[in-house]
Structure 1
Amino acid sequence: MSFFRNQFANVVEWQEFRDDMIFYKWSNREIKKGSKLIIRPGQDAIFLNNGKIEGIFRDEGEYDIESQIIPFLSTLKGFKFGFNSGMRVEVLFVNTKEFVVKWGTQNAINIPTLGLPGGMPIRANGTVNFKVTDYIALIDQIAGVREHYVVEDVKIRITAVLDQLLMKWISREGKDMFNLQSNSFEISKGIQEDLDMQMIKSGLSITGFNVMSFNYPKEIQDMITKNASFGMVGNVDRFQQISLTEGMASGKMSGGGTASDMAGMMMGMNFANQMMNKMNQQTPNQSGPTQNPQPPSQPEAGSQKRPNFCPNCGTKTGEGNFCSNCGQKLV
């Protein structure tokens, strides 16, 4: 009796569950009468017989195998437990959650770039999401020969083809090599579609792919940063003025008083010249003497108009040049 007792199992469950484990195969033991099946949250249980699926159970809980499981199995519905005999089947427990994996290029990828014969060396990093969606493909391609499968196994498969996919989608349609982040959504979407086509053959679906950042060599990154600075200030002259001001404010130019004074004098002269130029542009016709000035015209003698009333006494004037009342000269 002890021999059979040691060979039979009372509980079928995923022992030593791990978050990074994609599936676990319970096998090499017989199930005896009265045994229980335990399905925990986030697990599916698949009963296999000779590598073929007998039944899939998705709801969490504890089940009596004889009364609640066997009646739903494809070819084992009529199985009866004997006194010293049990049912030998395999039970595959599948982790149903969506897995998130961080990835990063181990070596720089040389992207073909105009003007750079060796290509542009670029590194990238991000995340990829996947989950099990096809149990038949998973069993045929992986679970049929393995006892368990972990996230690291999938990560190795993804990184093996990721460099080629990055090169394909970065180079596609001549994208701006110096501003790849602006195209990261399109690049990520293309890589996700290609990865999904490869992984679905093994029962896995790529549910998300994200490029978080592209990293350039230090020399290239410094050039990009400086170019962005030029664009922000508008022109090189203005950039030089700002740099000179920052240098003086930070004390980096205080090594010698003469040098700092000369720099300040040059800046003052430059600012003064700019102000003068601006004033000249605003009032172009107001500077300088007027050429050939014309003196105001003087009225000719005798051309003055005779008033109607005498300005001295107010008497109405006549045709004469003097007032008839007081003798005031009228013209």
Structure 2
Amino acid sequence: MSFFRNQFANVVEWQEFRDDMIFYKWSNREIKKGSKLIIRPGQDAIFFNNGKIEGVFRDEGEYDIESQIIPFLSTLKGFRFGFNSGMRVEVLFVNTKEFIEKWGTKNAINIPTLGLPGGMPIRANGTFHFKVNDYVALIDQIAGVREQYVVEDVKIRITSILDQLLMKWISREGKDMFNLQSNSFEISKGIQEDLDMQMIKSGITITGFNVMSFSYPKEIQDMINKNASHGMVGNVDRYQQISLTDGMASGKMSGGGAASDMAGMMMGMNIAGKMLNQMNQQSQDQPASSQNAQSPSQPNAGEQKRPNFCPNCGTKTGEGNFCSNCGHKLV
């Protein structure tokens, strides 16, 4: 009798395990009397029959199915192995780790931008994290019809809708198209929430999503770099300090190298700027000094002084041009 028992016995385990495999289904075989279940670290074993979960086993180790597994199955507790009969049940092994995968846009995404009829062509890349969290949904949506599921399958599903989500969250609330990196956290958070709503229906949750960098066409990137350099030149003293420091550090100050030429140019710009500031200051001060030079108490050239007493009758004069007593012209 023991000969037949060993002949029919089998081992239920995850065969040909791969790190990028999300689940593996042991199916279409009978579990015989004396069979063993092997659960390795980072695996859960799910017994299900006709799409219904019978039991979930999470602790790693080796188990006798007849004595240690069947008593815990929901509807198969009373099952008894016969001499030549086995138990028809499927076992799904699930990789419980959190998967981390890189992503990148295959083609540039044209983001609607004011002044650019065709939109701003932008590329992006980063990482996303996910794991299995709902075994019922996983079996109902995927494992019921597939023998295995790998990371690439999830990546294909995510990248198929990623362009639309990037466009949605980049365009939202008028973000600065030339400085998207400053909004990467908000964009990443929004995309993660939308992706999670899509994938959770299949029993998978998106635990993280990150935009590492945005990239622009070369012409636009050159324009951004040029604008940044102009902003730096606006602080002449700072730019001169950096140029001189770089020149001394590179040892090119003594020769006719680029650092020396740049330092000379910046020193000339600095002197010219100071001269312009002085000229502007003098032109601003000139009207004030001209006004101060002419005192209100001094009469203009050609203007005669009005006498205090009428030369004709001796009456004290007032503000008028003629004497109030005799009518003599005073001025």
Band the TM-score falls in, shorter-chain normalisation: 0.7 to 0.9
Q: How far apart are 1:31 and its partner, in Å?
A: 1.2
**Contact 1:9 1:30 (8 Å CA) reproduced:** no
Amino acid at match of 1:170: I
- Aligned match of 1:316: none
Aligned residue in 1 for 2:73: 73
- C-alpha offsets along residues 181-210 of structure 1, whole Å, 9 cap, x if unaligned? 000000000000000000000000000000
User: Aligned residue for 2:210?
Assistant: 210
Matches of 1:114 and 1:69 in 2, distance apart?
65
Task: Give the structure 2 partner of residue 89 of structure 1.
Answer: 89
Shift in CA distance, 276/191, structure 1 to aligned 2, threshold 3 Å: closer
The CA distance in 2 between the partners of 1:213 and 1:265, in whole Å, is 35
Q: In the alignment, what sits opposite 1:113? A: 113
- Is 1:188 the equivalent of 2:180? no
Partner of 2:227: 227
Cα–Cα, structure 1 residues 278 and 204, in superposed 2: closer, same or farther, change >3 Å?
same
Q: 1:260-312: per-residue Cα shift (whole Å, max 9, x none)?
A: 8xx96996597267269559969x89xxxxx9xxxxxxxxxxxxxxxxxxxxx
Tell me how far apart the structure 2 counterparts of residues 47 and 75 of structure 1 sit (CA, whole Å): 11
The residue that corresponds to 1:141 in the other structure is 141
TM-score (ref. length: structure 2): 0.74
Q: Is the 8 A contact 1:8 1:30 kept in 2?
A: no
- Take 1:99 and 1:66, find their aligned partners in 2: how far apart are those partners? 34
Q: 1:205 to 1:279 in 2, by over 3 A?
A: same
Judged with a 3 Å threshold, the aligned counterparts in structure 2 of structure 1 residues 200 and 182 are, in CA distance, closer, same or farther, namely same
Change (3 A) 1:9 1:121: farther
Call closer, same or farther: CA 1:130–1:266 in 2, change over 3 Å. closer
CA 1:280–1:54 in structure 2 vs 1: closer, same or farther (change >3 Å)? Answer: closer
After superposition, the CA RMSD in angstroms is 3.7
Larger radius of gyration: 1
Counterpart of 1:12 in structure 2 is 12
Identity of aligned residues (%): 88
User: Partner of 1:200 in structure 2?
Assistant: 200
Q: Which residue of 2 aligns with 1:43?
A: 43
Letter in 1 for 2:73: L
Shift >2 Å, 4+ stretches: 4-9, 235-243, 246-253, 263-270, 272-282
d(CA) in 2 for partners of 1:9, 1:204: 34
Report how many residues are paired: 279
Name which of structure 1's ranges 75-84 and 270-279 shifts more when overlaid on structure 2: 270-279
1:245-284 maps to which residues of 2 (within 5 A)?
Answer: 251=256, 268=268, 271=271, 274=274
User: Following the alignment from structure 2 to structure 1, what is the Cα–Cα distance between the partners of residues 213 and 242?
Assistant: 30
* TM-score, with structure 1 as normaliser: 0.74
In the alignment, structure 2 segments of 5+ residues that lack a partner are 287-292, 294-331
Q: Does 1:28 align with 2:28?
A: yes
CA distance in 2 between counterparts of 1:70 and 1:217 reads 62
Alpha-carbon distance in 1 for matches of 2:48, 2:191: 35
- Give the 3 Å change call, closer, same or farther, for CA 242–94 of structure 1 in structure 2: closer
